[in-house]
Structure 1
């Protein structure tokens, strides 16, 4: 049996151009290397799984590369590059601050900093999860970080910049990594599928990207799981089944029934969803997201915020033309109010059903009020007592 390597490791970028969704940072770093204007301390911060440590490793390798390519990428063939790739480089030291957060660990690091590199121009120190350092460790690190030897460069990475002392922040060149866009994640997953010879549906990859919430590492972990489950055939049905996600079609049916004011059909469909094992709150959250997508399309200029595949987007556009905007806004408001009070409800299923009842009633009432008649009959319907 061949040793399996997870996609997050197998396809970890080795060059700046391969880093997904962080072009604003990689281009700045390449320019700094090209112009020989390197800071003595970098701080990479941002959400998990967006490429902070990967970018730090590529930066360290490129700085020490003996034959930097014209496009400012490491050659991958010189002795420093090869030794780094084999994890025995003496000039690039990685430290996990989550498990080495004491003042003694930092003192040992400072002692290492005093020793110049045996070969090459720089010694680089990558400190991951730097916010985990203790207060005393931060204080011990301050002087060295402010005035390191000319050959020492520190690259710090963190998911929680607010926990780092301002005195540390002021000594670093700060780079803010952003959440990776769904389109970028889908494009990367497509490349992996093509490389691995896997068949896939674009909507399946898009669902994985949405579930990952901007973290490429999470997307790759989900991707590996789906590949195993689907036996190499990534279909939309396989993805929603494995991730226990409600099919979009349910929400399109719910909105169609609410437009018609068919409360009975809405309740039957809601019961079907619950019987399939989905929590009412999961349905409610999905309904809010569906209504948001409809509203974004109706506003025209915000349709680009609907990050879904072309086929699904066409369905949203078709339903957005049928559903009046005031109807969508009211339903979104009702769903949000239901969500706010959901955890306090004694009977949570009934709580959602009452919300659906209000949604169906709104459209019936609106139709009644706008009915074209001689006025008298409408008044009687609205005020049957008079």
Structure 2
């Protein structure tokens, strides 16, 4: 059995022109070698698998080659590779420094490649500083790391830094195609593209995935084989899902998501891929951005076709919903329901609502509500007025029939069941039937035939009676009625107030003011009580004047002015009192809030406090 060599080692670049995706760095190094501008300390930094160590080895071999030497010479005696992860102590660096002093036996330079240099300890870094800054002429140091931020700044300042970038999907796919051609593997363009995407910018990862997939599928590398082996969702899944979303087919959409989960795919991976698919469709809609779509030519045609059916507004909202679901996925307790809800929302974005707005499906409102029966304003006939005014009793009766006595509404209220106009109400009020002396004599009422006849004339027809309608206490109408009733009661109360003009002193007014403040404090109105204590009220004639430091306090006091003045008028027996509030911004300086301001106030009253503070060196 022949020994198998992985592609990452077998096809490792042997010259700068073979390095994939790092043309800027390789050109810089070549020009530096040609013009003898190469620094003696280089730092190669970048993600994994992008060619840092490979470029370091190519550079070490390149600077030792002469025109007459064999191009395949590797100069193994001149290249020293040190793994800083396992040689990170001061002693290891001391041994390295001792070796640097010895010149090379073959070639011009001795190259020291220190991989994962960020693993060196702080003491090892400091021990390496002097040699790195002033190395011998024959020594060149190449440091390689994936985490540049962990290297101390003094090391970075002594190195020429080269930042390696991630390899693009196109470059990785082209190199995979070259290797497949060399190996005699028939690979589909979409299959190589999926491998390049899965590698996430690392060429070594792409080659490892390629070896695994070739071992699975053999000499025929298809897109289906790649998706099955890598367990990835290909573009067909997302194109089908987007078609179902655009068709508003929620049931089939949920069935397809269930099939995706049954194949072992993660819902988080699915929803993140759906957001990326929407992004790719949005990119396809503009010729300026179509180059941002990193897919094969066949796939690009399918994307372009679906992009024509998807409105840009839908795609933007779809990306927003999918991204929101992506962010909430890990913290959700029911992750499947979260994704299904997102899919249903996406399928509802383009729903036109024609079925919902179709008149054939709408039941008219008249089907549920019956129009109210019109109740005409009931007016007493002359005969009814005569019955009430004369109070015609039946023979042997001591009181009028109950049906003949129309109830008089209470003051300020109205009976909606028996609407009566003003004229009839006045007649009822002037009727002798309402006199207290006669009401006291009413006992049992025996209705005779003549009374029944009068009852038929007085009582309105049963058909016109309006059924009682109850109003909710939380309805807007009930709140409005309640406010109107309170206003009527207040007006009536103000009309009933008897004018009082009792004389009182300013001291009595302040005592009443203090009593109201204490009452508010006991009720829990701490803010109002503090506002009332802000200034001492002054009596000027019948006006109670108060000065406040800001408008906020004034508005708060005006809010309760009605209740405050009612209390004072009642307490002082004077209805001519008025409250005058003024705002004086300078008045705010009268109040001490901080400890220093309080100390200053006390010092004004007793200057000896300052002497006490300075004597004992006290702090305020």
Of residues 175, 195, 199 in structure 1, which corresponds to 2:182? 195
Give the alignment of 1:254-269 within 5 angstroms. Answer: 254-269=241-256
Q: Displacement, 1:300?
A: 3.0
Instruction: Name 2:134's counterpart in structure 1.
Output: 147
**3-state secondary structure, aligned to 1:277:** coil
Question: Could you list the runs of 4 or more consecutive aligned residues of structure 1 that deviate by over 3 angstroms after TM superposition?
Answer: 377-382
Of residues 297, 305, 320 in structure 2, which corresponds to 1:333? 320
**What is the alpha-carbon distance in structure 2 between the residues aligned to residue 341 and residue 385 of structure 1?**
42
TM-score, length basis structure 2: 0.57
Of residues 180, 186, 195 in structure 2, which corresponds to 1:208? 195
Of residues 335, 339, 343 in structure 2, which corresponds to 1:356? 343
Give the alignment of 1:275-314 within 5 angstroms. Answer: 275-314=262-301
The alpha-carbon distance between structure 1 residues 385 and 145, as it changes in their structure 2 partners (threshold 3 A), is farther
CA RMSD of aligned residues (A): 2.0
Of residues 315, 320, 343 in structure 1, which corresponds to 2:330? 343
**What is the alpha-carbon distance in structure 2 between the residues aligned to residue 353 and residue 26 of structure 1?**
49
**What is the alpha-carbon distance in structure 1 between the residues aligned to residue 342 and residue 74 of structure 2?**
62
**What is the alpha-carbon distance in structure 2 between the residues aligned to residue 141 and residue 67 of structure 1?**
34
TM-score, length basis structure 1: 0.90
Instruction: Name 1:32's counterpart in structure 2.
Output: 32
**What is the alpha-carbon distance in structure 2 between the residues aligned to residue 62 and residue 200 of structure 1?**
35
Instruction: Name 2:492's counterpart in structure 1.
Output: none
Instruction: Name 1:82's counterpart in structure 2.
Output: 73
Residue 118 of structure 2 is aligned to residue 131 of structure 1? yes
Instruction: Name 1:48's counterpart in structure 2.
Output: 48
Q: Which has the higher helix share?
A: 1
Instruction: Name 1:72's counterpart in structure 2.
Output: none
Point out the more displaced range, 209-218 or 252-261. Answer: 252-261
Q: Displacement, 1:51?
A: 0.2
**What is the alpha-carbon distance in structure 2 between the residues aligned to residue 299 and residue 140 of structure 1?**
57
Residue 15 of structure 2 is aligned to residue 7 of structure 1? no
Instruction: Name 1:374's counterpart in structure 2.
Output: none
**3-state secondary structure, aligned to 1:43:** strand
The alpha-carbon distance between structure 1 residues 40 and 268, as it changes in their structure 2 partners (threshold 3 A), is same
CA displacement 1:271-328 (0-9 Å, x = unmatched): 1111222121121121111111112222432221111100111111111111000100
**What is the alpha-carbon distance in structure 2 between the residues aligned to residue 380 and residue 134 of structure 1?**
80
Residue 64 of structure 2 is aligned to residue 64 of structure 1? yes
**What is the alpha-carbon distance in structure 2 between the residues aligned to residue 100 and residue 233 of structure 1?**
45
Instruction: Name 2:220's counterpart in structure 1.
Output: 233
The alpha-carbon distance between structure 1 residues 359 and 114, as it changes in their structure 2 partners (threshold 3 A), is same
Of residues 217, 221, 235 in structure 1, which corresponds to 2:204? 217
What stretches of structure 2 of length at least 5 have no aligned partner?
Answer: 367-620
**3-state secondary structure, aligned to 2:42:** strand
Q: Displacement, 1:129?
A: 0.7
Instruction: Name 2:21's counterpart in structure 1.
Output: 21
Residue 307 of structure 2 is aligned to residue 320 of structure 1? yes
Aligned pair count?
364
The alpha-carbon distance between structure 1 residues 379 and 118, as it changes in their structure 2 partners (threshold 3 A), is farther
Larger Rg: 2
